[in-house]
């Protein structure tokens, strides 16, 4: 039997079924049943019953939530959250302390109990020794002399990358710390400085930013760049460093570097958000994200010179992270309901055009025709804005024609066409804002482009695992993108930020656009 295609389906309808004799109707019904079963089985395919990869499961289950746009999503999410409290599975997982979320089941991440440790195959050889003597007495402030016979009371190696004219060089420096005795008999020890402590509930050891550590700021920033910007997994970074530059670092150390860099960058991001409030136009967009398998959203807010990322829920309140009362400019967004309260807003026309394109392929001819008309009006609207030669006739302007086709489409039977037309009519002022305000971009392409990198990253890594990991990912990405918008070198700036953060000193000024 031939499989029913789009053309076949478009010829069927209530009238056609009513015209059929019973026997023929049974034939038609069984063909339709076959098609429905086939489609359903296809939807239910996952890694355990087909050759699909396990990575596809996590997205497969939430397909409906990802594809749709609009307010219903929140209710779907809320619903899926609520029963967890009472579900027996969850209770059990609480007792055993293990997560049952898909893809993160069985084992906790990191080194397993009883696993073999990591040892250095060759001892580190320092190319330079840097002595640190106390300058003043800690008790009486008297300046101290360097005593040549003194031996250091502690020391540590730092592996670092140094930029040379001909490229990058790996260096190993030994830091020696001394103590000095004052005339007042007080002994003062020179100590490596330390900065911010990041606390995560349930973690065995807090993350302290400090100078004392094996990986120097430039090397740590390089590792963070490999992970966040170049999307290389931690084990692969280990392999790359070992094979190409003979640096032996454990996966744990590599992970620590990425978090350290991210935490160091967080105060810079706060400053960027404050700066963002005076922007004229902000692009906003969001995409699904996973944090330890939990459904989250990755948001981006962009102006001409700032990009800020944030991982959180999809609630309206999450917007307050980016947009405070101080902001009086324009927002460019998609049709998501959380934005609708903001009065000065441009609704992204590219989103509407994509939906209209999908409608032109609709099975029902009437819907497809109206979809094509709607598409044409939207495209012409963008064209008029781009060329600036709009017609002045009020009754036959592009917005007026678009309004007419939407009114027509909003009363049709076709659910998707009706939904699109009503979306446009409900948000009418925001849809045509760019027609009346020529400085506004008609699409949200800027923000969408800024999210593309993260979307690919999500597909490779399945998101982040902790709130700290999410914070680190977002702050690094924010600074890298902001520096790129300002045509500044993100890596040397981030290395400076980390150097200061490890000493507990405020970050250096953010590069300005040239
Ligand atoms: Zn003293």
* 514 residues of the chain, pLDDT tens digit each: 577 888 888 888 888 999 999 999 999 999 999 899 888 888 887 777 777 666 566 555 554 444 333 333 333 333 333 333 334 344 444 444 444 444 555 677 677 788 877 777 788 899 999 999 999 998 899 999 888 888 999 999 999 999 888 888 999 999 999 999 989 989 999 999 988 888 877 777 888 899 999 999 999 999 999 999 999 999 999 999 999 988 999 999 999 999 999 999 999 999 999 999 999 999 999 888 988 878 899 999 999 999 999 998 888 788 888 888 888 888 888 877 777 778 888 888 888 888 888 888 877 778 888 888 888 888 888 887 777 665 555 556 778 888 888 888 888 888 888 888 888 888 888 888 878 888 888 888 888 888 898 888 888 888 888 888 899 999 999 999 999 999 999 999 999 999 999 999 999 998 887 6
How far away, in angstroms, is 195 Cα from ligand 1 center?
A: 26
Contact indicator for 183, 196 with CB cutoff of 8 Å: no
Closest CA to 77 of 296, 254, 396: 296
**Region label for 393, one of left (φ > 0), alpha (ψ between -120 and 50) or beta (otherwise):** beta
How far away, in angstroms, is 411 Cα from ligand 1 center?
A: 88
Secondary structure of residue 189 in the 3-state scheme = strand
How far away, in angstroms, is 44 Cα from ligand 1 center?
A: 76
Q: DSSP state, 491?
A: H
**Cβ neighbours for 28, distance < 8 A, ≥ 6 positions apart:** 12, 17, 20
| Per-residue pLDDT, 97 | 42
What is the residue-wise DSSP string for 261-278?
HHHHHHHHHHHHHHHHTT
How far away, in angstroms, is 148 Cα from ligand 1 center?
A: 19
| Per-residue pLDDT, 1 | 58
How far away, in angstroms, is 136 Cα from ligand 1 center?
A: 8
How far away, in angstroms, is 190 Cα from ligand 1 center?
A: 14
| Per-residue pLDDT, 106 | 63
The Cα–Cα gap between 495 and 289 comes to 27
How far away, in angstroms, is 146 Cα from ligand 1 center?
A: 14
| Per-residue pLDDT, 102 | 47
How far away, in angstroms, is 505 Cα from ligand 1 center?
A: 26
How far away, in angstroms, is 130 Cα from ligand 1 center?
A: 25
The Cα–Cα gap between 439 and 281 comes to 9
How far away, in angstroms, is 143 Cα from ligand 1 center?
A: 8
| Per-residue pLDDT, 395 | 58
The Cα–Cα gap between 461 and 285 comes to 21
pTM: 0.77
How far away, in angstroms, is 200 Cα from ligand 1 center?
A: 40
| Per-residue pLDDT, 160 | 94
Sheet with 281-291: strands ordered across: 307-312, 294-302, 281-291, 330-333, 345-347
How far away, in angstroms, is 147 Cα from ligand 1 center?
A: 15
How far away, in angstroms, is 184 Cα from ligand 1 center?
A: 4
How far away, in angstroms, is 336 Cα from ligand 1 center?
A: 66
Distances (CA, A) of 399 to 246, 340, 408: 64, 20, 14
How far away, in angstroms, is 187 Cα from ligand 1 center?
A: 8
| Per-residue pLDDT, 299 | 92
Query: Environment class of residue 26 by beta-carbon count within 10 Å: exposed (0-12), middle (13-18) or buried (19+)?
Result: exposed
How far away, in angstroms, is 134 Cα from ligand 1 center?
A: 12
What are residue 177's DSSP bridge partners?
132, 154
How far away, in angstroms, is 500 Cα from ligand 1 center?
A: 29
| Per-residue pLDDT, 343 | 81
How far away, in angstroms, is 45 Cα from ligand 1 center?
A: 75
Pairing of strands 128-132, 167-177: parallel
Q: DSSP state, 136?
A: B
Contact indicator for 194, 502 with CB cutoff of 8 Å: yes
Question: CA 30, 32, 37, 39: dihedral to nearest 10 degrees?
Answer: 160
How far away, in angstroms, is 154 Cα from ligand 1 center?
A: 22
How far away, in angstroms, is 14 Cα from ligand 1 center?
A: 98
How far away, in angstroms, is 459 Cα from ligand 1 center?
A: 60
| Per-residue pLDDT, 436 | 80
How far away, in angstroms, is 186 Cα from ligand 1 center?
A: 5
What is the residue-wise DSSP string for 348-365?
-HHHHHHHHHHHHT-SSH
How far away, in angstroms, is 320 Cα from ligand 1 center?
A: 52
């Amino acid at each position: 039997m031939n499989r029913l295609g789009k053309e076949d389906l478009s010829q069927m309808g209530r009238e056609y079924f009513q015209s059929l004799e019973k026997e023929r109707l049974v034939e038609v019904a069984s063909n339709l049943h076959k098609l429905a079963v086939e489609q359903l089985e296809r939807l239910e395919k996952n890694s355990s019953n087909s050759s699909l990869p396990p990575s596809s499961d996590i997205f497969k289950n939430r397909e409906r939530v990802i594809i749709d746009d609009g307010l219903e999503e929140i209710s779907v999410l809320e619903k899926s959250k609520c029963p967890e409290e009472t579900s027996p599975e969850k209770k059990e997982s609480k007792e055993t302390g293990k997560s049952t979320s898909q893809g993160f089941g069985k084992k906790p991440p990191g080194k397993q109990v009883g696993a073999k440790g990591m040892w250095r195959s060759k001892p580190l050889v320092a190319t330079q020794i840097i002595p640190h003597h106390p300058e003043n007495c800690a008790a009486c402030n008297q300046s101290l002399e360097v005593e040549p016979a003194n031996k250091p009371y502690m020391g540590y190696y730092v592996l670092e990358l140094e930029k040379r004219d001909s490229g990058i060089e790996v260096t190993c420096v030994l830091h020696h710390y001394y103590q000095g005795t004052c005339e007042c008999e007080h002994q003062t020890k020179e100590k490596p400085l330390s900065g911010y402590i990041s606390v995560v509930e349930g973690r065995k050891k807090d993350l302290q930013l400090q100078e004392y550590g094996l990986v120097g700021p430039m090397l740590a920033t390089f590792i963070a760049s490999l992970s966040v910007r170049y999307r290389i997994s931690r084990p692969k970074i280990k392999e790359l460093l070992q094979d190409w530059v003979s640096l032996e670092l454990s996966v744990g150390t590599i992970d620590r570097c990425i978090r350290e860099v991210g935490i160091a960058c967080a105060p810079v991001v706060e400053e960027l958000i404050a700066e963002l409030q005076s922007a004229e136009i902000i692009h906003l967009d969001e995409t699904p994200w996973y944090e330890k398998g939990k459904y989250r959203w990755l948001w981006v807010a962009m102006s001409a010179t700032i990009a800020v990322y944030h991982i959180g829920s999809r609630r309206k309140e999450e917007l307050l992270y980016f947009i405070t009362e101080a902001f009086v400019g324009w927002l460019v967004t998609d049709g998501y309901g959380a934005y609708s309260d903001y009065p000065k807003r441009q609704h992204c026309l590219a989103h509407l055009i994509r939906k209209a394109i999908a409608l032109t392929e609709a099975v029902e001819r009437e819907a497809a025709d109206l979809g094509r008309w709607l598409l044409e009006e939207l495209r012409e609207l963008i064209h008029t804005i781009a060329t600036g030669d709009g017609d002045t006739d009020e009754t036959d302007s592009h917005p007026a024609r678009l309004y007419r086709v939407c009114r027509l489409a909003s009363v049709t039977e076709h659910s998707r066409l009706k939904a699109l037309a009503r979306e446009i009519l409900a948000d009418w002022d925001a849809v045509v804002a760019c027609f009346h305000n020529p400085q506004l971009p008609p699409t949200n392409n800027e923000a969408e482009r800024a999210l593309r990198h993260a979307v690919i990253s999500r597909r490779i890594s399945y998101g982040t695992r902790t709130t700290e990991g999410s914070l680190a990912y977002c702050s690094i990405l924010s600074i890298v993108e902001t520096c790129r918008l300002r045509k500044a070198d993100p890596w040397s700036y981030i290395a400076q930020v980390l150097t200061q953060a490890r000493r507990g000193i405020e970050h250096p000024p953010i590069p300005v656009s040239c």
